[in-house]
Structure formats: C-alpha cells, structure tokens
Amino acid sequence: MQESKEKFIVPIGPQHPALKEPGHFEFTVDGETVTSATIRLGFVHRGIEKMAESRTYIQNLYLFERICGICSHVHATAFASGVEKLAGVTVSPRVKAIRTLFLELERIQSHLLWLGVAAHEGGFDTLFMYSWRDRETVMDIHETISGNRVHHSVNLIGGVKFDITPEQVKKSLKGLDFLEERAKYYEKVVTTDETFLGRTRNVGTMTKEQATVLSAVGPTARASGVQRDVRVESPYAGYPEYPVNIVLDEGGDLSARFIVRIKELYECFRICREILKNLPEGELSVKVPRRIPAGEVVSRVEAPRGELFYFIKSNGGETPERVKVRTPSLCNWSTISSVAVGHKLADMPMLLVGIDPCFSCNDRLVTVRQANTSQTMYWEDLRKYGVEYYK
C-alpha cells in the first residue's frame, strides 16, 4: 500500500520569515498531517567552543556574549560566574544586583521580541509593530545604562564595568511603568481576542508528562505546568536576594505559552524596580588572576528561553581547556519533534515559534520528507499557508 507523503524543505530564517536560512526543519507530511519531524543545524555554527580554547578568559567573555544577539548578557553571566567559581572569587552584592537587573531587562526585551515575531507568524502584524515599538523602551534603558542596545558587555570576570547613577534609575523606572501598562494590554489580547485564540488555543498541546520526559525547559515547560526555572531551583547572581515567583500555566498549549511569557514580564518589572530602588553597596569588581586554577565547573542560568548550561574546564592556564555550551532551544526542539506529530502542516509555524527558538543559539533547518520528489517551500509561504488555512 502506498502512502502519499509529501516532502517540503522549509528553510527558516532567524526571526523573520523574510529572512533566509539558517534554519532547516524536516517534516514528513501525510496529506495535511505531520507524521514526523527532524532537524538539521549548521548555518550558524561558528566553532565557538573550539575558539574558546585558544583565547584568554577575558577575550572569551566577548566571544560568548556574541553567541546570541538576544540573550547575550545571560551567556556572559553564565561564563563569568563559572570562572569566578573556579577562581574562588566572590563578587559584591552590588555586582550581583546589577547583573540581575540586566538579566531581567534582557528577559523583557526577549519576550517582547518574541511576542512580535509570534504575532507575525500568526498574521497579526499590528501586534508585531506594537510590541517592537514598545521594545524600543527597553532598548533605551539598556542604552542609558550600558551604552549599547545589544551586546551590553556588562560583565567583567570578577564584576561589572559600570555603575548605575540616580539619573539612570529615574529614567529606567519611568520606562518600566510605561512597559507595565503595555503588558496589561498584551495580556488582554492574548487571553480575550477571539481570532488570536483561534490560532493558539489547543494548538501544540504538550502534557506535563511529555514536557518532563522530553526535557523541556523554560517558558515552554512552565506552560505545561512543569516547575522548572533555574532562578528558583538553583538561584544564582542576585536571585537569592531578589527571589522570583515562578509563573506556571496548566494549559500546555500555544495559548499557555503566550500567557506564561507575558506574566513573566510582570515578574521582571517587579524585580527590576526592587533592584533600582534598593541597589546594595559593594565594589564594582574584584581582582581575578589571569591564570584560573585547574578544575571543572558547571554554571546554569535561566535564559529567556530556558536553562542555559555551561561546563567549563580549566587546566590552570590563561585559556580554558574546554567550554561546553548547551543552549535552551536545543532542549526544546525535541518537544517539537514529538508534539508536531498529528498536527496539521498549517500549525507548524505557530508551533515552532511557541518554543521561541533562538536560531543563533542553535540554528535550525526544516525539511519535509516526500517519497519521490522534494519541494522547497519558503518559510514565508508556510506562514502564509498557515494564515490562509485558518481564515
């Protein structure tokens, strides 16, 4: 008996459908229904882990920051904290607070970015424009304090580069107030807008069991009720002093993933305000030797997309022996390859975007297998297909 299978090769761009590559997913479709999914990465593989072995720890700070343009500070913090542990150095409360401030600001920026992209995937372009316009407020706060919108280079090994002035505090607080108002609007849209719910409710449902077994992390896991958040389970930086209330949703579907991320924004605002209003005292940096004592350390942090895992091995020299970086999107991809099965091809764009895949953290490929012929379907077409299907 011959099954009709279609093969679509769907290259996916990083964040916008108009962008070509570096993504390549492979879907096997039987008529309308997806029967299996695999991935192929490679477009953004820059050989970072290898390069790290021939650069000093300080040079590596700048390298790891640039793994991803969206979650750059969290990478640098994971690395710096890991090296500080190896060196037996403790940073001051002020340093921890400033690092945490930026970690939360980055989360706000990332979730707003994701909201816009996810909205665009579903055909809600106005929402995309709104959220990215609002995101500019966070970028302004970044720039006011650190001097750059992206890749703020806050960290040193042993501390942070700059302090926060009262002027900057005032400006940032104002920005946060504005953003909180906007977050309330977004919450209303994702929970009450019928068209939006039509594309997100009961789509891509992942049960708590599945999420646990498939090692889902981050908001993707929390949207299925799994209590997994490194800031809560294994607090680092300033989180012991500024604890996070974990945001969960039992829905497990795409709608839940939207809700979790927007609710997390409120937590971010709260923590940022607390830090800005009560910056603790402390030196901005402590001296760390160029040669880091030999040893192995594991550094785990909660990136906006989920758990980021760093394994650093030092051989006592100026350059690391090995640095292993496991980014959250790699974990969450496995959930897609299971959950996608049984869904319609038209659901794929929204499903993929639901895990908030970071293409530069792990670039991705999409192909849809077909028995005899192979068809290249641009992501834009797949997205339009999805939008049209649900009209």
Partner 1 sequence: MESKKISAWANTMEGLKTWARINSPWVIHFNSGSCNGCDIEILATLTPRYDLERFGVKLQGSPRHADILLTTGPVTRQARERLLRVYEQMPEPKFVVAIGSCGLSGGVFHGSYNIAGSIDEVLPVSAFIPGCPPRPEAIIHGVVALLNSLKKE
Partner 2 sequence: MEYETFIKDAEDILKKLGKDFQHPEPNRLDVYIDRTDLLAAAQAIVDAKWGYLSALSGLDCPAPKAEGQQPVEAGHLEALYHFCRMAAVTTLRVKVPYNDAHVPSICSVIPSATLYERELMELFGIIVDDTPIPDRLVLADEWPEGVYPLRKSFTGLDVPERAAQES
Q: By CB under 8 A, tell whether 324 contacts partner 2.
A: yes
Burial 344-362 (b: 16+ CB within 10 A, else e): bbbbbbbbbbbbbbbbbbb
List the interface residues with partner 2, window 236-275 (CB under 8 A).
none
Residue 18 binds: one of partner 1, partner 2, none (C-beta under 5 to 8 A by kind): partner 1
Nearest 10 degrees: Cα torsion 94, 272, 148, 137 = -160
Cα distances (Å, whole numbers) of residue 64 to 237, 250, 310, 333: 18, 35, 11, 22
Length of the chain: 391
In a 3-state reduction of DSSP, which class is residue 26?
Answer: strand
- Which of 18, 30, 31, 51 touches partner 2 by CB under 8 A? 51
Q: Which residues contact 198 (CB under 8 A, 6 or more apart)?
A: 390
Q: By CB under 8 A, tell whether 359 contacts partner 2.
A: no
DSSP 346: G
Residue 19 binds: one of partner 2, partner 1, none (C-beta under 5 to 8 A by kind): partner 1
Q: By CB under 8 A, tell whether 296 contacts partner 2.
A: yes
User: What's the token pair of residue 188?
Assistant: 């209303």
Minimal distance, residue 168 CB to partner 1, in Å = 19
List the interface residues with partner 2, window 360-379 (CB under 8 A).
363
Q: By CB under 8 A, tell whether 298 contacts partner 2.
A: yes
**Residue 305: left (phi > 0), alpha (psi -120 to 50), or beta?**
alpha
Closest CA to 9 of 39, 42, 31: 39
Q: By CB under 8 A, tell whether 209 contacts partner 2.
A: no
Number of CB atoms found within 10 A of residue 147's CB: 12
- Which of 168, 215, 285, 370 touches partner 2 by CB under 8 A? 215
Question: With respect to partner 1, which residue has the nearer C-beta, 43 or 242?
Answer: 43
Question: Which residues contribute to the site for partner 1 (CB under 8 A)?
Answer: 11, 13-22, 42-48, 50-51, 62-63, 66-70, 72, 113, 129, 132-133, 136, 149-151, 358-360, 363, 378, 380
Q: By CB under 8 A, tell whether 36 contacts partner 2.
A: no
Residues that bind partner 2 (CB under 8 A): 38-42, 45, 47, 49-51, 54, 85, 212-215, 233-234, 295-298, 300, 307, 309, 311, 313, 322, 324, 326, 330-331, 333-335, 338, 363
